[in-house]
Amino acid sequence: METLQAKRPPRVPHFRSPLGRAEARAVAEALASGWVGTGVYGRLFEARFAAFAGARRCAATNSGTAALHLALEAAGARGGEVVTSPLTDVGTVQAILHAGARPVFADVEPERGTLDPAAAEAALTPRTRAILAVHLHGHPADLAPLRALARRNGAALVEDCCQAVGGAYHGRPLGSVGDAGCFSFGRFKNPTTVDGGAVVFKDPAWEKPLARMRRLGHEAEGTGFAGSPSGVRAAGWHCRMNDLAAALGLCQLSRWPETRRRLERTARLYREALAGHPSLRLSEASPGSVPGASHFAVRAAGGRGGLLARFLRARGIDTEAWLYPVHLYRLCAPFRRRLPVAERLYKDYAYLPFSPGLSASETERVAEAVRRFRGRP
């Protein structure tokens, strides 16, 4: 007699793509237009995203890293130093290096893991050209003192909003407080263009340099091609957002209210499940701030984040492990210094599945598994 084994439920993915039929139609329309470089869709996306982010101007790029790089170039960071947080994706420091600047890492505050203003002040030197504030896990950095520091020292304040679309700081959208805000619309982001990014900025003097740098240094569209006089005077990069990505972005922006509602529902269910948990805690939003919708990070004190991740994976729940202090990478060996808060805090983090495509039943399943975790294997 055959023994019937109970079927295991399907794994809960860490992220389920929010792209659907509406996005497919948008891409088909862009393809039918006959122009998929950077045209009307790209310009329309820039206008709409600038309004969404509470900014005057927007330059769309092909990645969040490119957005950070170009913002630092426009800020005059080349040849100087950029003070930033070690708790971020390696793309943040790659952007600093590509901009020809030296990263100077300052420690983080212990509640949300964002750049500590006092530590940032101690890291400033006469060569500081910018402060790059990372909104870790969507939590806004404390921008008011960082902005004051930047102004007193003649430096730019650039916000790394790659994890923080839709967040706010004292009533202002993230990205609109500093001199520039940089966003990512990568494949695991909300909203997504699969690959893409944007710089939003205030100073009109940045508009032409950003446009030139995104199109291989060409001073204007259509210059520098075969047989024609070239308007190229300086180095540039090929990093504009194409129209197919922009068409996706426009569709995703139109659906943002529903996307945000779904993410808030998931976050609420997780918070209810974790209320009073003896081994876990969440980073609370600072007063006057609204986190962006990116990751749902859980803190297992005592460096047990990895243990929680293994606990969830053993129960068919995928978790993402991406955070490692960038100053400890071999790439950053010349810039390494001891940063005790960051080096302790990152070990606490684990990440729960978090995307608008996560169903209510999947959310409940994750929440139930988290409730059972007691800080041991």
* Domain ranges for the chain: 21-220+231-254, 256-372
User: In the sheet that 280-281 helps form, which strands lie side by side, from edge to edge?
Assistant: 280-281, 296-300, 349-352
Match 């922006």 to its residue by tokens.
253
User: Tell me, what's the pLDDT at 119?
Assistant: 98
**Could you tell me the pTM of the whole model?**
0.94
Query: Fold identical between 21-220+231-254 and 256-372?
Result: no
Rounded Cα distance between 107 and 122, Å, is: 10
Domain 21-220+231-254 fold: Aspartate Aminotransferase; domain 2 (3.40.640)
Domain 256-372 fold: Aspartate Aminotransferase, domain 1 (3.90.1150)
pLDDT < 50 positions in the chain: 1-4, 223-227
Q: Are 329 and 90 in contact (CB under 8 A)?
A: yes
**Which H helix or E strand runs over 311?**
helix 305-313
CA distances (Å), origin 1, targets 4, 6, 7, 243, 310: 9, 16, 18, 60, 36
Radius of gyration over every alpha carbon of the chain, rounded to an integer in angstroms: 22
**Which H helix or E strand runs over 201?**
strand 197-201
**Phi, psi angles (nearest 5°) of residue 32:** -65, -20
- The C-alpha torsion from 133 through 135 and 139 to 145, rounded to 10°, is 10
